[in-house]
Amino acid sequence: MSDADVPVLAAVGVTVVRDGRALLADIDLTVRPGEHWALLGANGAGKSTLLSVLGAHQHPTRGGATVLGRRLGRVDVRELRGHIGHVDPRHPVRSPLTVRQVVLTGCTGSVEPVPRWRPDDAALKRADALIDLLGLTHRAGATWPVLSQGERGKALIARALMPAPRMLLLDEPATGLDLAAREQLLDSLDELRREYPGLASVLVTHHLEELPSSTSHALLLRDGRTVAAGPVDTVLTSELVSAAFRHPVEIARADGRWRATARHRRPD
């Protein structure tokens, strides 16, 4: 079996129960190197809960999840998280750190720079290369409070890539972005995926318009259950998306990007 056939993620029958309620029920998901999955569904569908399991932040109540070849429940999750790039737009930066300083915290997995830790030349070189890849070289010295939401999102992606992870998890990365910032972010994600062809990613969103054109697979969730999962062209159809969101929509794709519009019933 080649490396490309070895799953980065493998969830089998994953069920998460909280306070007697199933947040996820019998979820199967396999993500291989180079695949870029979208998790889609309405509010409360279970997207964030599933991403939390995939990121080794919680264990399933039933079923099993293997992340980077390590089964949850049999591994030190703190060590495992160091090999997963997690991008959360709510990252709680409190200090006026520069873009470069924020990116370098990816080496230590901390929010603030670790006292007495100093990056070596290799870390500095990698940080600058990632900042350049994400189109932030001209803002490398700008501090967090003056960055736009789009610039913050790019900086957090660069930060997540500092440990050279095999998997990148993106939790609604376009949240709060205006149209131009969203398009710039999605272009950056497409470029990133071209630059790192073996990287796998899972992106959570409510909106098809927020999917990069490089999205290869999709999982539709409804009430914690799978509506459909597989190659994106077979999953993101009008019928399946309508079922997942409990609303009739028409799905169209042009130039590699998706668009959803309400389907209006014709009068009898």
User: Using CA atoms, how far apart are residues 108 and 118, in angstroms rounded to an integer?
Assistant: 10
Contact 186, 210 (CB under 8 A): yes
Q: Which domains does the chain possess? A: 3-83+165-262 (3.40.50.300), 93-164 (no CATH)
Range of lowest pLDDT (26-30, 104-108, 225-229): 104-108
Pick the most confident of 74-83, 145-154, 165-174, 221-230.
221-230
Distance of CA 221 to the CA centre of its chain: 16
**Closest alpha carbon to 225 in 53, 72, 13:** 13
User: Using CA atoms, how far apart are residues 77 and 118, in angstroms rounded to an integer?
Assistant: 25
Q: Residue 85 has which token pair?
A: 């790039």
Buried b (16+ CB within 10 A) or exposed e, 140-175: bebebeebbebbbbbbbbbbbbbbebbbbbbbbbbb
Render pLDDT for 96-138 as a digit per residue (tens, 0 to 9): 999 999 999 988 888 888 888 888 999 999 999 999 988 899 9
